Every structure is written in C-alpha cells, then in structure tokens.
Amino acid sequence: MQRLFFSLVFAISLVISPHASADQHDFEQCRQIFANGEPPLIKQQDAQKLRALCFSAFAVLHSGQSRTPLYVAERLNRKTLQSAHEKRKDKFFADARLPRAERAELDDYKGSGYDRGHMAPAADMTTPESMAQSFSLANMVPQAPLNNRKAWAGIEKSTRKYVMRAQSDVYVISGPVFDSAPATIGHNRVWVPRHLFKLVYDPAANKAWAHWVDNQDTAKVGKPISYPELVKRTGISFLPNYRGS
C-alpha cells in the first residue's frame, strides 16, 4: 500500500477559479460545494502544479504533474438529482484555463485503449452549462473501458440512489490513485490510475464511507472502506471537520 501514497500526498502550490484572478489560493468561488465550506487538507508541502477549478456544479483540484484531477467534489441532494434530465452531449474538450504544459489533450486519449472517465458524472448534471462543463478533460482520468461502463457506473448509480434517500445534502469526492511508476498515455504522458475512489459523506446521518476499485476491466465492486481507511491510503483529510468513524 505504500506505493499508493505518492501522488495523492500533494500540497496546493497555486489554485485558481474560472471566475477569479490567478493570485487566489483557495476555492473562493465554490466553497459551497464542500462540507462546511472546507476543501480537503493535504499535509505534505511539495509544490506539484496544483490548481483549483470551480465549475457550476463541481470543483476540481487539478494536478499539472499527472494531468488529471487529484480529486473532484460535488454537493448533491434529492432536488438536484430530480432535475438531472439533461441530454448527454459527449463533447469532450481540453480545459483552456490550464496551461498547455499541465493539461491533457483530446489526442492523448485517441487510440490509448482507455476511456475518458468522468469523476463528476454527467448523469449528476442539472443544467446545459453543468452538462457541458462535465466533459472538460480536467474532470477525466484514463479509465479501463469496462471498469468505466460497469463497475464504476454501478458505484455512481448506487451513490445517486443513496442521495435520493438522504434527508439533505450529500457531499461526494472522487479521484484517482496512482502507483509509484504510473503508466501514461499520449504525447503529454497523462498518468493512468491504479485505483479510483469515491467518498460519500452524509452530514445529517454523520456517516462517511468510500468506494475503492481497481482501474481494470476485471475489477469487481467490493465492500466500501471506512473514511479513516481512505485517509490512511491517500494521505488526504478530505473532510477536515468530520468526527465520525
């Protein structure tokens, strides 16, 4: 498991939002997406070209080293999901807010054998704007095709089912985990995750758990892991104020 700690233990060296100047140092324009307005805490102080991107329905901490999101955060509830009837567009695009040297391009995925795997799912989006934004490559990781379409899709569906039963807002954070020498795709050497995680936090029930799945076509969805176990595996305090188990 020690091989998995390398990429997720980053610190925020520079973060920006699409509605703000580049000298901002937090998710100022979209803190409402995080529980208690608090983004995750990353302990280690290594500068790794991290940039915060605010979208209308989700927030991304993007790594210019892996050229993928480090994590993607959403705030969901029954009302928002009941409004999620937008037709999927499949218009993927490279995010121009990121420097070219730090981002994935469409050509990186062509012929790679990997899907452009959403971290914030298109099916969660409720407006034409948020649907279009969800196809930013800043919201994507190279994902094994059957994993994306079966195991991961099942996790996304089960998360939405839970949100529909929850009393109020549910906070979801998804992201990749790489091993110490990750495979890459494309000219820009976009990192391929070894694992994927999806953290679900329900403040009203004071419960948090995480799905953890291998990024392989043969991966099976197992029993969720605890929040403390996710923190142990990643080195990130995703819910700084959470005091549950």
Catalytic annotation present for 118 = yes
B/e letters for 64-75, b = 16+ CB within 10 Å, e = fewer, are bbbbbbbbbbbb
Count helices and strands (H / E) in the chain. 6, 13
Alpha helices (runs of H) in 148-226, residue ranges in sequence order? 152-165
| Other beta carbons within 10 Å of 220 | 10
Residue 43 DSSP SS3: coil
Name 207's bridge partners.
202
Q: Which amino acid is at 146?
A: L
Which residue among 118, 187, 195, 211 is the active-site one? 118
- Residue 63: Cβ within 10 Å count: 23
In 3D, which of 233, 140, 149, 241 has the Cα closest to residue 193? 140
Q: List residues with catalytic annotation.
A: 118
